[in-house]
Chain A
Amino acid sequence: GNSVTQMEGPVTLSEEAFLTINCTYTATGYPSLFWYVQYPGEGLQLLLKATKADDKGSNKGFEATYRKETTSFHLEKGSVQVSDSAVYFCALSPAAESGGSYIPTFGRGTSLIVHP
């Protein structure tokens, strides 16, 4: 079956530090890949997505590139802020041509804590 693996947290950084949260996946074909963010007391919200190999998703200074050869979709930000403190989820949606179930698959989430 499909799976998403992301690095264990929490990740603790100082403001303006560089952020990388690793995400790798297992799936047939070319799934769509997503990063969601969950702020305290809220539901998940889409941060960025990529739907085909070598696509780069970007939003609010965050970026991730769909790497088919390494089955990865690592999240990066050049300079984090205290307001970026949240839990980040990597997820995939199976390719339409993969057949079978179309259930989305989420990673376990990585907590990011940014100190002033």
Chain B
Amino acid sequence: ETGVTQTPRHLVMGMTNKKSLKCEQHLGHNAMYWYKQSAKKPLELMFVYSLEERVENNSVPSRFSPECPNSSHLFLHLHTLQPEDSALYLCASSQSRLGTYEQYFGPGTRLTVT
């Protein structure tokens, strides 16, 4: 595997379920990000991890809980979601969160909350 991978690619869950999204980067990067992409809305940055430490939490509801066990893996734990949380969730990584580095994105997880 190369680049940034995300699993699952599609997820349908009820409002009372608990699920997790997984992201893995094979690029040796030090920063990882979660974004939410909804139709007709700008890309929303949710969380930023740098060297496994959470450095940004963009006023995200507590029903979203990130975890970064090492610099290659990032999880987004989901519980008691709302229908408006249905969206494409994108993971990204970059060499550093500082400076001129571009981000590398995974293909996303399409989440539907029923």
Binding site for B on A (CB under 8 A): 32, 34, 36, 41-46, 49, 51, 89, 93, 96, 101-104, 106-109
Q: Which of B43, B45, B48, B105 contacts A45 (CB 8 A)?
A: B105
CB distance from A19 to the nearest CB of B (A): 22
> Would you call B106 and A43 a contact (CB within 8 A)?
yes
- Chain A nearest Cβ from B100, distance in angstroms: 4
Interface of B is mostly: loop
Task: Decide: A43 and B102 in contact? CB cutoff 8 A.
Answer: no
Say whether A93 contacts B99, CB under 8 Å: yes
Residue tally, chain B, CB below 8 Å to A? 23
Could you list 5 further interchain pairs (A-B, Cβ under 8 angstroms) beyond the known A36-B105, A42-B108?
A43-B107, A46-B102, A103-B45, A104-B103, A108-B42
Tell me the smallest distance from the CB of B56 to a CB of chain A, in Å. 6
Is there contact, CB below 8 Å, between B105 and A44?
yes
**A-B pairs under 8 A by CB, number:** 51
List A contacts of B64 (CB < 8 A): none
A44 contacts across to B, CB distance below 8 A = 90, 92, 103, 105
- What residues of chain A lie closer than 8 Å to B48, measured between beta carbons? 103
Whether A104 lies near B45 (C-beta < 8 A) is yes
Interface flags, B34-51, vs A, CB<8A=1, else 0: 000000011101001000
Name the B residues within 8 Å of A106 (CB-CB): 42-43
**Chain A minimum-CB-distance residue to B99:** A96
Would you give the shortest CB distance from A55 to chain B, in whole angstroms? Answer: 11
- Distance in angstroms from B105 CB to nearest chain A CB is 4
In the complex, chain B residues whose CB is within 8 Å of the CB of A43: 4, 6, 90, 92, 105-108
Q: Which 3 A-B pairs have the closest CB atoms?
A: A43-B105, A32-B100, A51-B100
